[in-house]
Amino acid sequence: MILKPSIEDLKNLGYYLSKVIIGLSLTMVLPVVFAITRMEFNPALDFIIAMEIGLISGFFLKKLCLTEKDLNWMQGMIVVSISWLLAMVLGAIPLYLSGHWGSFLDACFDAMSGFSTTGLTLVKDLDHLSYAHNLWRHLIMFIGGQGIVIIALSLFIKGFAGALKMYVGEARDERILPNVISTARFIWLVSIVYLALGTLTLGVIGILNGMSVFNAFFHGACIFMAAFDTGGFSPQSQNILYYHSLAYEVVTIVIMLLGTINFTLHYNLWSGNRRQILKDIEIRTFFITVFITFVIVAFGLLKSKAYPGAISIFRKGFYQLISGHTGTGYMTIYAPQFIQDWGFFSLFGLICAMALGGGVCSTTGGIKMLRIGIIFKALKQDLKRIILPERAVVFEKFYHIKEIFLQDSQVRSAFIITLSYILLYGIGAIIGMFFGYPFLESLFESTSASANVGLSCGITAIGMPTALKITYILQMWAGRLEFMSVFTLIGFAVAAIKGK
């Protein structure tokens, strides 16, 4: 028998959701202050209005649902899944008020794309968007990359049990430090230190390329936030192509690679345990899949004769490949060139790279390297069982933070999530074809949305069907949360309707 959620369940959900809403609303102080310093008073008003809506809603919900009870596992998952939808709506308000989005749905699309670190966009006239709104676009990527709930864990939520359940619900299951509060704060420390170093480096390159000092460092901060959080937003409509700089491309590749590494490996890097990084199954799997997918892309580009020489093929092909594999979505070509110049074989390699993604407990999306590594370890173990004598004891182990013996539960979990992603990629492609787009283009865009990448072959545009916009929003949401909290929310909704 399915039990209907009680009033106490709803109060618990509302109380913790109120904390997340308040936390997100307070982050708008940054663009407000920035807008005022830049004399952008209308943009400042946009954020003040959105912040007031968020704070009033948050404090009202907190007062209404005041409770001292902790979250159980189901409630923690539900809080996370709803938090991301509420963040989308709240984050879209100042974007829509700017007048650069054709509808509130378009603003919601970009807000979800930002929070989920996807990078697909429906903005109009990006090159003339205010500094404050551009800062907000990249700031929500920085927030979403670390995790919306991480803000609440860092600032507002006390108590280990409830914090752990929300942390796991946001597709993170590794504690770097003894408790999740300390882990959340370490994640922010890493991100802010890298932000300072990355902004400085990109800012200097921008100045050397002829940009003004302010623009160089503003662009540097925005590009870093989107690259490290594997997002893909850019202050200019031409994306990274705008800068026409090899140095900019090299630095952003390094930042994208840092963003795709598990935060626990960052901890080992900071602690001086660098050898552990090279032993880790995720890092090894990542380099293998990068090599394989780049070979496919390179052969495809040679066949299509898209670029004149090996250097051009490497520079264009490898950049898009790394951008796709890390789930960033930065581009040094125009979107239509994927279809016009790259050819089917190259697109196939890039789609595979986007689908695979980077490291677990990182800012990237997709299936993730740990799961791919575990599946292949399981295949190796089964082959050993077939080849070796029946009485032989067969076991397999791998290194991920520590030495781990492969268990059936790990394989089952990896396979279920992998299958869920493949189904999500396919469903989006089918919906795209329903609206008249070719199969390969539909699969490309669907994979990009579901794996939170942001590369586009041209389907994502202001004029695309409303149902397809909603489809991509849901794909970005489900892909970022890696399904379990989404499935829990669906189950909760079914229980609310059919429960007794």
pLDDT, one tens digit per residue, over 205-223 is: 999 999 999 999 999 999 9
User: If we measure between CA atoms, which residue out of 380, 341, 351, 332 comes closest to residue 289?
Assistant: 351
- Tracing tokens 């109120």 back to the chain, one arrives at 18
Residue 326 lies in a domain: no
Q: Are 387 and 406 in contact (CB under 8 A)?
A: no
Q: Kindly state the average pLDDT of the residues 408-431.
A: 93
Q: What percent of the chain has pLDDT over 90?
A: 58
- Using the predicted structure, report yes or no on whether residue 189 has a pLDDT greater than 90: no
In a domain, residue 35? The reply is yes
Q: Can you give the pLDDT at residue 309?
A: 83
Domain-embedded: residue 409: no
Lowest mean pLDDT among 49-58, 66-75, 126-135, 205-214: 66-75
**Average confidence (pLDDT) over 392-397:** 78
The reply to whether 482 falls in a domain is: no
Residue 247: phi, psi to the nearest 5? -60, -40
Q: Does residue 413 form part of some domain?
A: no
Q: Which residue has the higher pLDDT, 388 or 343?
A: 343
Q: Which pLDDT belongs to residue 159?
A: 47
- Provide the pLDDT for residue 33: 96
Q: How confident is the model at residue 125 (pLDDT cuts 50, 70, 90)?
A: very high
Q: What is the pLDDT of residue 246?
A: 93
pLDDT at 93 over 80: yes
Residue with tokens 């942001």: 454
pTM of the model: 0.90
The reported pLDDT for the residue numbered 253 is: 95
Averaged confidence pLDDT in the chain: 88
Task: Assess contact for 373 and 285: CB atoms under 8 A.
Answer: yes
Which band of pLDDT confidence, cut at 50, 70 and 90, is reported for residue 177?
A: low
Closest CA to 136 of 35, 21, 260: 35
pLDDT value, residue 160: 42
| CB 31, CB 132: distance < 8 Å | yes
End-to-end CA distance of the chain: 8
Give the pLDDT of residue 346: 94
Residue-level pLDDT at 72: 78
- Domain of 243? 7-259
Mean pLDDT of 97-124: 95
Residue 219: predicted pLDDT = 96
- Measured at the alpha carbon of residue 220, what is the angle toward residues 219 and 225, in degrees to the nearest 5? 100
Q: Is residue 115 part of a domain?
A: yes
State how many domains the chain has: 1
User: Residues 248, 219: contact at Cβ < 8 Å?
Assistant: no
Q: Give the CA-trace dihedral at 414, 167, 290, 339, to 10 degrees.
A: 100
Least confident of 64-68, 161-165, 232-236: 161-165
pLDDT: is 166 or 451 the higher one? 451
Report the pLDDT value the prediction gives residue 12, as an integer from 0 to 100.
86
Confidence grade of residue 180 (pLDDT, cut at 50, 70, 90):
low
Burial readout 201-223 (b: 16 or more C-beta within 10 A, e: otherwise): bbbebbeeeebeeeebbbbbbbb
Per-residue pLDDT band for 259 (boundaries 50, 70, 90) equals confident
Is 45 inside a domain boundary?
Answer: yes
- Tokens representing 50 are 């959105």
| 208, part of any domain | yes
* Least trusted range by pLDDT, from 259-268, 331-340, 372-381, 423-432: 259-268
| Span 372-379, average pLDDT | 91
Percent of the chain whose pLDDT exceeds 70: 91
What average pLDDT score do residues 6-23 get? 87
| Euclidean distance between CA atoms 96 and 123, whole angstroms | 10
Give the burial class of 371: count Cβ atoms within 10 A of its Cβ; 0-12 exposed, 13-18 middle, 19 or more buried.
buried
Residue 411 predicted with pLDDT over 50: yes
pLDDT at position 423 over 70: yes
The whole-angstrom separation of Cα 468 and Cα 279 is 42
For residue range 131-170, what is the model confidence (pLDDT) as tens digits?
999 999 999 998 887 777 666 555 555 544 455 555 555 5
Mean pLDDT of 310-327: 92
Q: How confident is the model at residue 43 (pLDDT cuts 50, 70, 90)?
A: very high
